[in-house]
Structure 1
């Protein structure tokens, strides 16, 4: 597989997206908060049909430029504010990596509920989100952080393929705790 990410100066796909693709067969996927498209490009090369959404028009324009240049037919970049919680299609896989912590805390429940409602039976969610706990107070001033077990509680009834709340390092070197979840919607 040619590495489109490095060719276009993008970081590699998030390691959790790469891991999830060992479990999930190509399907209609949603990359929530896609930024410049590092995960969308990776998924498209594996055969997923990717809708890549982000509120930042510049990021979407950059991704659209790559899609046009590479003649990629299975990525649809769209400017969309995920805080609207108003998805208009159903997906077999929704990836939301290091995105939730940038949205209004009052919209998180609506966003997650909307994601769940627009996931096909047997479909998957991958979420990676910063936490703020007593053991690891969040050093970054994110609008939203998860508390211990909060994400698991929001996915009652789903099958957890992976769930952990481990310390990690952001790309800028900051140490903090992350909740990482790959869960499957009941069929």
Structure 2
């Protein structure tokens, strides 16, 4: 007889287990799934190239965000983390996939970068390896691979780690025809799979991150192959700012 549910985290882990059989880019099978994804570095995947996101470059160029302490969630091969390091940020970067982090660390050594990379689940690492306050928390493509119930954990992470006056920015699926799913939240639990990722509209992002102040929400610009930046128009780019005073601040 299993009567193990006692805390909110117990409930969240129980819901995680609904997605485990498919290893749908989350839960216990996610690291292995992403390791396989990153195994062939020669594949023509646009975000395999060492290019920062065009919106991130724009934030820094326009001085909407200034150098400080940064956290890159779901860093992949490290392209945005290395860009931030080159501009004087103190960067922590985390990813579930050891293969992705290995690649990122190789790039960092070649560039002489001082990024601190962490392997594992950012939620589990918060308070230990990931601690203190960050002036920028950046997420390029991690949030849309979380099952709906893990938004609770995500918001708790922001509350704990984002500095008062700091910025949170993310890019995620917004176009259901090009990677994201526009199914309602309940459907993912009925199907026990994430359908490749969740699509978010600007309105849904405003609602989820309502405790933060919106700075800018727009589609990513479509960057050509020869561009020094990464950009795909089926992604939405959002920048929020945390008030200097407020809950947890």
Tell me which interval the TM-score lies in, with the shorter structure as reference length: 0.7 to 0.9
More strand by share: 1
* Unmatched tracts of structure 2, length 5 or more: 1-47, 180-194, 225-231, 245-249
Alignment of 1:81-120 (within 5 A): 81-82=121-122, 84=124, 86=126, 88-89=130-131, 90-120=133-163
Equivalent residues, number: 170
- 152 and 72 in structure 1: CA distance in 2 versus 1, 3 angstrom threshold: same
2:93–2:118 CA contact under 8 A, matched in 1: yes
**Displacement of 1:35 after TM fit?**
0.3
Question: Which residue number in structure 1 is paired with residue 45 of structure 2?
Answer: none
Report what 1:33 is aligned to: 74
Question: SS of the residue aligned with 2:76?
Answer: coil
Query: Offset of 1:102 from its aligned partner?
Result: 1.7
| Distance in structure 1 (CA, Å) of the matches to 2:56 and 2:94 | 16
- The structure in which a higher percent of residues are helix is 2
Residue 60 of structure 2: aligned partner: 21
Question: Counterpart in 2 of 1:129?
Answer: 172
In 2, Cα distance between equivalents of 1:179 and 1:128: 5
Describe the shift of the 1:67–1:93 C-alpha distance in structure 2 as closer, same or farther (beyond 3 A): same
TM-score with structure 1 setting the length: 0.78
TM-aligned CA deviation for residue 17 of structure 1: 1.1
* Alignment RMSD: 2.6
Unaligned stretches of 5+ residues in structure 1: 1-8
State how far apart, in whole Å, the 1-side matches of 2:160 and 2:202 are.
Answer: 24
- Contact 1:20–1:126 (Cα < 8 Å) also in 2: no
Of 47, 51, 55, the residue aligned with 1:12 is: 51
Give the equivalent residue in structure 1 for 2:238.
181
- SS of the aligned residue for 1:52 comes to strand
Separation of aligned partners in 2, 1:109 and 1:85: 16
Distance 2:241 2:202 in 1: 21
Residues 84 and 168 of structure 1, relative CA distance in 2, 3 Å threshold: farther
Larger Rg: 2
Tell me how far 1:126 sits from its aligned partner: 0.6
